[in-house]
Structure 1
Amino acid sequence: MKKYLVFPILCFTVFQASAQSIKTKPNIVIIMADDLDSKQLSCYGGQNLKTTNIDALAKNGLKFNHIYTSEAMCVPTRASLFTGLYPVRHGSFQNHKPVYDNLKSVGHYLADLGYRVGLTGKDHVTKPKSVFPFEIVKGFEPNCVSPTDDYQLEDVKKYITQDEKPYCLFVMSINPHAPWTVGDTTEFNANKLILPKNWVDTKTTRGQFVKYLAEVRRLDDQVGDITKLLKETGQDKNTIVIFLGEQGAQFPGAKWNLWDAGQKSSMLVNWPGKVKPASQTNALVQYEDITPTLIDIAGGKAIPDLDGKSFLAVILGKAKEAREYAYSIHNNIPEGDPYPIRSIRDKQYKLILNLTADKDYYNRFMMNPKSVERNSVWFSWVDELGKDPQVKKITDRFTKRPAVEFYDTTKDPWEFHNLANDPAYQKTIEKFKEKLYAWMKQQGDKGAEIDIVYNKKP
């Protein structure tokens, strides 16, 4: 009789401790942009608008200066974010190519640690459900090419306040993804905008940039609404807020390329009582590292087969470095003709290999004369050929690429000066090539062979 009295008391004590452990785990809200040129954020040096709400996250948290996508396209980047795997291993190594259906993702890993895992907004990478078991929350627009982005927070509010169980909610904005039809363009004077240095200055370019920046403003407003909701509901006290910029904008030389204008992203981490306000780090991280970090935050053990590694020690100020190299891949189908690219970088140098450099680069969204009404920036640049030698340099750089590119991104952040043939850098280039080829072999990446058209599953 005595042991039966002890047993239920022991069970209750264990259950109570377990419940208390779950209750004290931090909530996580991840707000992700869509095609954001992170250089436009004022906290990252942008001068065309003041991104007040995003800047507030930087003021109250940790800013990452070296976060990179492994493929500068929406679907591969998000698949890498959710699975912790590089594109060839998760299967979505072309835009809109599905992941393999035998994988696990952050939805599984955090659920196993007692979390509810939800997603509101852009839902390109939520299928199959067996791989991405997110609880879909109404509120934000799921279609990234929608001409409107109307949203409401009632369902988000219900989700974050429904019970004591910790949650991880992905808020996936569609801004500032093309077609750039939302936001208030009257805030901006096209003639006074500061253009990226790798652009040709044309009236069309400035006009499109105005529309783009209006959506960056819209994104900043959404960030403000989410952080305000957390505060109003008292959720801010035990909630980590992470802002992610995704890959670069749909302008020539950014998205769909492996230059930093496409690959370099942004990340801000707010964690009350854990992260020093207004701090920043130069630790090198990739999107594949985020899910392992979330598992670490939630108290889980490292998943040995993932490509990413936790950078929780960096967030907590216990380490200054996370990884030595960042690796990247681009396969151009279905966004254009085959044009496979691979790259490797550390915080200073970057090696890019164009695997079919004998061909011209082509992108169907920017360079197809039949679709100029969607984004005619490229054609406005081509129209300037012959008027200024710099125009030819910029357009040739985009279409006619050498087999090897090597840049000192510290001295040359826009990657204009190719050092591939400079004798002073040959040892570093060979070292980077060796590392890159070893990574491709480890990933099962056959290079140009995989940039082909794949049959869709019935």
Structure 2
Amino acid sequence: MKRRNFIKLAGFAAFSSVFSDASADIFSSNESDSSRPNVLLIMADDCTFRDLPLYGGENAYTPNINQLASEGLVFNKAYLSEAMCLPCRSELQTGLHPISNGASWNHSKCRNDIKSAPHYLSELGYRAGLTGKRHIRPKSAFPFDYIEGFDQKCVRNPTQPHDTQYIRRYMEDDSSPFYLSVCLVEPHAPWVMGDASRYPADQLKLPPNMADTQETRDNFSKYLAEITYMDSQVGDILEALEQSGKADNTLVLFSSEQGSKFPGNKWTNWDTGLHTALIARWPGVAPVNKRTEAMVQYCDFLPTIIELAGGNPEELEFDGKSFLDVIKGNTNKHRDYVFGIHNNVPEGPQYPIRTVFDGQYRYIRNLCPDRLYIEKHVMGGADFWHSWVSSSYNQEDVYKLVERFTRRPAEQLYHTSEDPYEMNNLADNPDYSEIKNKLSDRLDKWMAQENDPGAPIDTMEALEAARNQNHIY
């Protein structure tokens, strides 16, 4: 185990001791429990943030998400560390980057010694519940109250109907305040829910990082229908909160998770993979119908919730830090940099990637640039990808998108604030060498801080060792 993780465990022990003594006084009064704020986290699944109207999407219909945004604070720059389900969800619930918690591959698991939200919040007198998609392991590291009502399986066809009575009962319980994660399975592929007929394929406006083929349009239509279906679930969840009588004393957080299955989003370190939607609504506390440029990352969520619950996250050595002051409207700044990684195993052969973003420019380092990038879910069975390849022989613009996805240089630099889909690589432009070198140096320091060995960790040997709790890195 890394030394920094021994420190984390020692910090947790001290934290537990302090609050186990204090809890008798804190919770001796029913009044203190009823007045303490609740937290409701709603998470979509594989929804590229730029496809939401809230962030400039020109196709999807999302009235409930739009309404939530009008009632709270919208984060323009929220990120996760790895654009895959298990790593990013583990990051959010542990406050640790993927290398730190052990879950730096998809379909892996955190180390057995890792603590997560239920451990910390129980010491503060909070219940921690989760319903819907889990994709966090092992169970000992995530001892949530697991609640019925939402489908757990993201690839089921069709998605099981949801029933909000279970989460409403959990919220109505007056014995203690709650932290409840409602993890939806839309719009994760297969795109089978919602009404695709409301999105005629020939009328859609495709993003510039997607090839304009009929198969792409047909699939994009189905994906947009699932976004609208997901939005209706958001509406039902918020209605259940209202029915519970707890809405006025609950911080609601909505996040879109990572980017979609379309090439260039999920499983990448481009902005459309790592950038996530984030809305914070807290009646009487958070600004209303406002936006913030403060940069936050998924590892910041748990420290924020701990501070809201009355704890001191600085006593614990999280990778993240609380952004509660941003939610309260006290500041418009949080991080100077956000970071990202990608380990391609087991989603494809070795292709490790690392990135850093400063709010304006994104630097990406491809650690094995001589290899082809291959992702089995996109390239193995997706008809839209096959249409890109078959169209590339006589359409130069499609060829460039196929090449962009499969053959990447050692370094990439994008002026993301001006080039939001990151189509223009500036890494070889001497006018940007100072910016590139500064970000490259910052990425080196972060990797050293995380004890990240780079390419050697993106192997089946390292993954299997982690699965067997015998981490070699």
| TM-score (structure 2 length as normaliser) | 0.91
The equivalent of 1:410 in structure 2 is 417
1:98 matched to 2:109: yes
The equivalent of 1:388 in structure 2 is 395
Question: Whole-Å Cα distance in 1 between the matches of residues 168 and 309 of structure 2?
Answer: 22
Are the equivalent residues in 1 in contact too, given 2:169–2:244 (CA < 8 A)? no
Q: What percent of counterpart residues are identical?
A: 44
The equivalent of 2:17 in structure 1 is none
Are the equivalent residues in 1 in contact too, given 2:74–2:279 (CA < 8 A)? yes
Cα deviation, 1:4-59, whole Å, max 9, x if unaligned, reads xxxxxxx9x95776543232111111000000111121222222122000011100
> After superposition, where does 1:307-456 map in structure 2 within 5 Å?
307-368=319-380, 372=381, 375-453=382-460, 454-455=463-464, 456=467
- After TM superposition, the structure 1 stretch with the greater mean CA deviation from structure 2, 16-25 or 206-215, is 16-25
The equivalent of 1:142 in structure 2 is 152
Question: Whole-Å Cα distance in 1 between the matches of residues 168 and 294 of structure 2?
Answer: 34
The equivalent of 2:273 in structure 1 is 262
Are the equivalent residues in 1 in contact too, given 2:27–2:33 (CA < 8 A)? no
Task: Specify which of 179, 200, 216 is matched with residue 168 of structure 1.
Answer: 179
Q: Which amino acid aligns with 2:59?
A: N
- After TM superposition, the structure 1 stretch with the greater mean CA deviation from structure 2, 143-152 or 335-344, is 143-152
Task: Specify which of 97, 110, 118 is matched with residue 129 of structure 2.
Answer: 118
Q: Which amino acid aligns with 1:196?
A: P
| TM-score (structure 1 length as normaliser) | 0.94
Deviation, 1:386, is 2.6
The equivalent of 2:138 in structure 1 is 128
The equivalent of 2:169 in structure 1 is 158
Cα deviation, 1:321-354, whole Å, max 9, x if unaligned, reads 1010001100000000100000011110011000
Question: Whole-Å Cα distance in 2 between the matches of residues 224 and 15 of structure 1?
Answer: 34
- After TM superposition, the structure 1 stretch with the greater mean CA deviation from structure 2, 163-172 or 335-344, is 163-172
Question: Whole-Å Cα distance in 2 between the matches of residues 184 and 50 of structure 1?
Answer: 11
Question: Whole-Å Cα distance in 2 between the matches of residues 422 and 186 of structure 1?
Answer: 45
Q: Which amino acid aligns with 1:136?
A: Y
Using a 3 Å threshold, how does the CA distance of structure 1 residues 350 and 440 change in structure 2: closer, same or farther? same
Question: Whole-Å Cα distance in 1 between the matches of residues 105 and 25 of structure 2?
Answer: 48
Deviation, 1:435, is 1.1
Q: Which amino acid aligns with 1:145?
A: V
Which residues of structure 1 form unaligned runs of 5+?
1-10
Task: Specify which of 285, 299, 304 is matched with residue 310 of structure 2.
Answer: 299
Question: Whole-Å Cα distance in 2 between the matches of residues 164 and 350 of structure 1?
Answer: 46
Q: Which amino acid aligns with 1:350?
A: R
The equivalent of 2:249 in structure 1 is 238
Question: Whole-Å Cα distance in 1 between the matches of residues 49 and 421 of structure 2?
Answer: 14
Cα deviation, 1:235-269, whole Å, max 9, x if unaligned, reads 21111111011000001111000001111110000
Task: Specify which of 33, 36, 44 is matched with residue 22 of structure 1.
Answer: 33
The equivalent of 1:5 in structure 2 is none
Q: Per the alignment, in what secondary structure is the counterpart of residue 321 of structure 1?
A: coil
RMSD between aligned residues: 1.5
Deviation, 1:185, is 1.4
Q: Which amino acid aligns with 1:432?
A: L
Q: Which amino acid aligns with 2:293?
A: N
Deviation, 1:154, is 1.5
The equivalent of 1:4 in structure 2 is none
Q: Which amino acid aligns with 2:401?
A: I
Name the count of aligned residue pairs. Answer: 441
Using a 3 Å threshold, how does the CA distance of structure 1 residues 296 and 387 change in structure 2: closer, same or farther? same
> After superposition, where does 1:42-57 map in structure 2 within 5 Å?
42-57=53-68
Cα deviation, 1:413-452, whole Å, max 9, x if unaligned, reads 1111111111121122111111111111111100000001
Question: Whole-Å Cα distance in 1 between the matches of residues 370 and 60 of structure 2?
Answer: 41
- After TM superposition, the structure 1 stretch with the greater mean CA deviation from structure 2, 382-391 or 57-66, is 382-391
Indicate the structure (1 or 2) with the bigger Cα radius of gyration. Answer: 1
Which residues of structure 2 form unaligned runs of 5+?
1-21
Question: Whole-Å Cα distance in 2 between the matches of residues 429 and 393 of structure 1?
Answer: 24
